[in-house]
Structure 1
């Protein structure tokens, strides 16, 4: 028996079928009007751009040709703008207007001659001159297929009106078929079915042929420029993440060194002194020696507790073994301020993401306990399609900052190193809301 999900999926597919059919018919209409309109536009373009261009080139030696060349380029630019608007529906997205070279501080003559030094302006001219080639090819295929589909499917309604003298032979007779009217109807009907069945693919291919030619000349340079800009931006982000990772690692190492120096190292020094004193007391005062050893054992337990706490700060075992929800539950239980935790169970994430989310909450709770004077804390960890959203808010005194010297300064580097962003909203007297968005 099909499940409820299967039935829902089947119903959704059945309901979307008319929409898909409507989309196909709409695309055929868009592609057809694009090609049919492109053919006269191509004739207009070659009739205007090519003669003016060669006239400008031929007369440029006597300077009269320069204004003609400028007029040609601006005409080609106008036709290119129209074409960019036309190819948008073919690719089902808006085509970005490219960058044209400008010289705001130039003289009037310099501004007039600017298109001569602009690569995109020359590409517009090339498109205006040669666009009739793909336009003509596309036009021929589209008109042929539409004529074949409509004519073949409807031939039986009007074919009887065609002259049929002794010297008049139509296509079925030329191919050796029976000359009876029924045979002709069946032949043309089959032909119409063929053209109608392949109409979408032929019209689509014809429109894309013309559209890709226009896109390559009118948008190719701009697309390449955008790709280079995006690559540079991605490289800068990667460099920032690398710097943030190095900074976060250095901060964590300095904090670990300070914690070891201030905690376990001092206790181990005292432990060594107590054991040395006990060794000297065993010969003269055994009771005092036993008391010293007992105190040393207490120091050992406290040292072990501090080392466990430090190890949790490096790589909490509960996070590795049981996941983020269990680790945050344990973290909330150790906090000295009541914590309202909202962290639903979901599948395991990348270890780096889980570790970053854990340390965001851990560092935030530490700062709340030390500086906020808050009476309650809300911790929320939610997974969205784009990433993991971690939010920690309290009702304390506010005033928290990501600036250097504040408790949250190193946390921003850790989040940035994971590819995320960190935001702190902490008005004085209004509590603090810390939000981290991490990619997954």
Structure 2
């Protein structure tokens, strides 16, 4: 029982000194710009390809977009493996049998369209990651900075559920002494620990989604069951 409690306490308190925490944070930081780039690239590629399909110029553009989506999905699998510690085995593009055979496999293989769907999902995950990082980090830093930003003439206040750190003219929670500011900073430290756990959980969710959608062995198992 003592060992279990110690392990739980170590897991709870040791989160800021674990290297995996910062790999998770790096993954979340990269999620938004990568997701945005994927969304813009896919939207542009499919829109241009469909628009030019009647002239036959659109067909190579659509095929290039699908091939690019497959390559980016493999990149995402490698990124998750490196930063999140997953074991995603994304299949390589099969170019055997000539151009026509490879093109047919690219278009008809369900994994190609799963890759496209994953890249679009990545954009949504990127937005969530950006919002979580911005909100939790600004809240934690703002609270911990209270000893540097409080003033005996102004307030650091809690208004309508939003904590604002820094000189503030009115508020329900008046922080106008150094002791109170230290208390707010301690609260910010607690919030920072909790935020790291929340962000680790979000990174773990991203890793699970990547494994479920991109792992070829998972897809193969689902196909065999059907």
Q: TM-score, normalised by structure 1?
A: 0.41
Structure 1 Cα separation of the partners of residues 74 and 86 of structure 2: 15
1:117 is aligned to 2:108: yes
Q: Which ranges of structure 1 fall in alignment gaps of 5 or more residues?
A: 1-9, 232-440
The residue that corresponds to 1:213 in the other structure is 209
- Cα distance change of structure 1 residues 43 and 34 upon mapping to structure 2, 3 Å threshold: same
The residue that corresponds to 1:225 in the other structure is 220
Structure 1 residue 131, shift from structure 2 partner: 1.4
Alpha carbons 1:52, 1:69 under 8 Å: kept: yes
Structure 1 residue 191, shift from structure 2 partner: 3.4
**Which residue of 20, 25, 29 corresponds with 1:32?**
25
Q: How does 1:33-182 map to 2 (within 5 A)?
A: 33-89=26-82, 92-98=85-91, 100=93, 102=94, 104-106=96-98, 108-156=99-147, 158-159=148-149, 170-172=156-158, 174-182=170-178
Alpha carbons 1:138, 1:210 under 8 Å: kept: no
Structure 2 Cα separation of the partners of residues 57 and 110 of structure 1: 22
- Cα distance change of structure 1 residues 182 and 40 upon mapping to structure 2, 3 Å threshold: same
Determine helix, strand or coil for the equivalent of 2:18: helix
- Cα distance change of structure 1 residues 78 and 99 upon mapping to structure 2, 3 Å threshold: closer
Runs (4+) of structure 1 moved beyond 6 Å? none
Structure 1 Cα separation of the partners of residues 140 and 39 of structure 2: 31
Determine helix, strand or coil for the equivalent of 1:198: helix
1:185 is aligned to 2:181: yes
Structure 1 residue 133, shift from structure 2 partner: 0.7
Higher share of residues assigned helix:
2
Structure 2 Cα separation of the partners of residues 82 and 111 of structure 1: 20
Q: Greater relative contact order: 1 or 2 (C-alpha under 8 angstroms, separation 6 or more)?
A: 2
Structure 1 residue 91, shift from structure 2 partner: 5.0
Alpha carbons 2:21, 2:196 under 8 Å: kept: yes
Q: Which ranges of structure 2 fall in alignment gaps of 5 or more residues?
A: 159-167
The alignment covers a number of residue pairs equal to: 209
Deviations 1:262-283 (A, max 9, x none): xxxxxxxxxxxxxxxxxxxxxx
Provide the aligned C-alpha RMSD in A.
Answer: 3.4
Higher share of residues assigned strand:
1
Greater mean alpha carbon deviation, residues 185-194 or residues 79-88: 185-194
